[in-house]
Structure 1
Amino acid sequence: MSTRRLLVLPHLKVHNANALSSPFTIGFPAMTAWLGFVHALERKLKASDYPTLRLVATGVISHRCDLQTYQGPGDYVHSIVGTANPLDRDGQRSAFIEEARCHLDVSLLIEYRADDDDLERVEKTAFFERLNQLLSRMKVAGGDLLDFDFPELKALDDSEAKEVQKVMRSLMPGFALLERRELMQEAMKQGTDALDALLEHVTVHHQCEQDENGDVIWHSHRKTHGWIVPIATGFQGISPVGPAKNQRDADTPHRFAESVVTLGEFKMAHRIEDLDEALWEYNADLPNDLYLCQQVQTETPHSGLF
């Protein structure tokens, strides 16, 4: 019987987070943004007298996502609400690449480990004071962290599903972001192209039929039950590792990469019974040039991605 320790960061209010998670997707920030934030927090805590503290896995619970778009009267599509700052010398909007933004209310479940000495210090008031100081100065998914509820520490018995459910119910109403790569894998095994497989699962099909009274009844359905969405979960290298001209850090090898996209699902938090079902971690598959964020319970091989 093992004990798993969680740091809960409830209701992070993020303003103007990056909603363009990949060249193919817009909406909720990429999983790389969330794990990147937790990695940055770990480095700051290690430098703040907690040298053995490790934040090993992260769960993301979405309470609200307000995508900044606009649809005018008679418009067929939505337009991105951009700021175009700063204006040029004539007071006109300068040419720029549009940046999709969203406002978020998100809770994070962070599994942590440390030596016994650091574990004792984590439970003291000084740790929370330092944590609050760090959070108030950090960016989250490129957005400003405006407010957050007081962090909490949880110790869970790994064999007790009721303890996990109690934690997840405390985060309701909210949706945990899960990976559904297996849907892509099943379709691709049948010869479907990766992009076609993704579109098949997010497309809504509408059908109508006429009943015995002559009334037309419409039915809408998708290929799979659940709130299935495309999500960006990492990068694949497309160039050799080495130096690059004008790179910021001359001591760190560089390579060009492209986004990796697969299918995910937003699932109501109270339906999560296994903690590993909601947690994500880093996984670098160097032979295949893949740098991924994936679920703790995910098994290789790395198929079902494009």
Structure 2
Amino acid sequence: MSRDLLVIPHIKIQNANALSSPFTIGFPAMTAWLGAVHALQRKVNQSGLDVCFEKTGVVCHEFDLQTYQGPGDFVHSIGGTANPLDKTGSRPAFIEEARCHLGVSLVISIPELSGSEQEQLKEIVERSLGGRMKMAAGDILSFSPVRITDDFSTLKNRLMPGYAIVERRDLMEEAMTTMPDALDALLSYLTVRNHCHQTDNGQVSWQRQRKHGGWLVPVATGFHGISDIGSAKNSRDSDTPHRFAESLVTLGEFKMPYQLEAVEELLWQYQADLENNLYLCEQTQTEQYF
């Protein structure tokens, strides 16, 4: 079955959530991007167009983490918001949140549509994005005109310069054959080691080295259920079953789009493993559509 690609280029987002998991800060979680695309699909369906957004790819063009490092500081501090004073003139209590400004392009796999349906879809998507919709908890400031294409080779050039986030769970699986602790396996790829070398004439040189080449980052890709499915008091949706869950984090890699051979290397999708209580966003490259 043939597929088209719905492309939303150069979305500028302000104050997106950079706290992607309880112990990582940086690029927003994949659950945030797939959740935003799911919300967009619901708006499209409510507008009368029955189309399914099957898979999603994310390409980052710019990223500005809102942190501050003062003169002589070793660590960075989160740039918080200045909340209004309370009635006593004191600062109110608030939860410190990590924020980022970024620019991304979204590539969404959709069924093949007719010409009139394509024009209708583009009009609904642009209207929805401009109607106070949020992405990764951030405000959408602007975006380029929406396009629909089936030519991934040409699309790769249009997505440059940028970095596509791809899953590198294979590296985690390889490391955990010798490191039973998942966090140690994750850190083994993220740690930067500095080596000093001194020549015979006393000259000193330093080298920085990582375990694996490429731009590897931790990425939150889903949730693991840690309680039975049931109901919860005072929940926003009393009709939907509830369970407590914890974040799942694995390795991802930022790659320039021209390095991708097929669009399947870019696209993420939902995958539920109910036997193991896993709710995932993952990449599967078993189907070849393009």
TM-score, normalising length: structure 2 = 0.95
Whether 1:132 and 2:130 are equivalent positions in the alignment is no
1:298 deviates by 7.7
Task: List gaps (5 residues or longer) in structure 1.
Answer: 157-163, 300-306
For 2:116 and 2:266, the matched residues in 1 are separated by 27
Residue of structure 2 aligned with 1:146, choices 138, 141, 148: 141
- Residues 149-298 of structure 1 mapped to structure 2, 5 A cutoff: 149-156=144-151, 164-297=152-285
1:105 corresponds in structure 2 to: 103
2:30 corresponds in structure 1 to: 31
1:12 is matched by which residue type in structure 2? I
Q: Contact 1:84–1:94 at 8 Å: present in 2 too? A: no
Q: Contact 1:165–1:272 at 8 Å: present in 2 too? A: no
1:85 corresponds in structure 2 to: 83
Q: Contact 2:2–2:111 at 8 Å: present in 1 too? A: no
Q: Deviations over 1:105-152 (max 9, x none)?
A: 0000000126xxx6443222x432222110112100000000000010
1:62 is matched by which residue type in structure 2? C
1:205 deviates by 0.4
Q: Contact 1:84–1:96 at 8 Å: present in 2 too? A: no
Residue of structure 2 aligned with 1:73, choices 64, 71, 74: 71
1:12 corresponds in structure 2 to: 11
Deviates further, 247-256 or 186-195: 186-195
Q: Secondary structure at the match of 1:76?
A: coil
Q: Contact 1:58–1:279 at 8 Å: present in 2 too? A: yes
1:84 deviates by 4.4
1:15 deviates by 0.4
Q: Contact 2:218–2:249 at 8 Å: present in 1 too? A: yes
Q: Secondary structure at the match of 2:164?
A: strand
Q: Secondary structure at the match of 1:55?
A: coil
2:199 is matched by which residue type in structure 1? D
Whether 1:40 and 2:39 are equivalent positions in the alignment is yes
2:68 is matched by which residue type in structure 1? Y
Q: Secondary structure at the match of 1:279?
A: coil
1:113 is matched by which residue type in structure 2? P
Q: Secondary structure at the match of 1:283?
A: strand
Q: Contact 1:15–1:103 at 8 Å: present in 2 too? A: yes
1:192 deviates by 3.5
Q: How many residue pairs get matched? A: 286
Q: Contact 2:193–2:210 at 8 Å: present in 1 too? A: yes
Q: Contact 2:179–2:185 at 8 Å: present in 1 too? A: no
TM-score, normalising length: structure 1 = 0.90
1:274 deviates by 1.2
Deviates further, 222-231 or 127-136: 127-136
Task: List gaps (5 residues or longer) in structure 2.
Answer: none
Q: Contact 2:164–2:266 at 8 Å: present in 1 too? A: yes
1:176 is matched by which residue type in structure 2? A
Q: Deviations over 1:60-97 (max 9, x none)?
A: 00001100000111111100011142432223222221
1:165 deviates by 3.0
Deviates further, 242-251 or 83-92: 83-92
1:270 deviates by 1.3
1:303 corresponds in structure 2 to: none
The share of aligned pairs that are identical, in percent, is 58
Deviates further, 280-289 or 269-278: 269-278
For 2:224 and 2:269, the matched residues in 1 are separated by 17
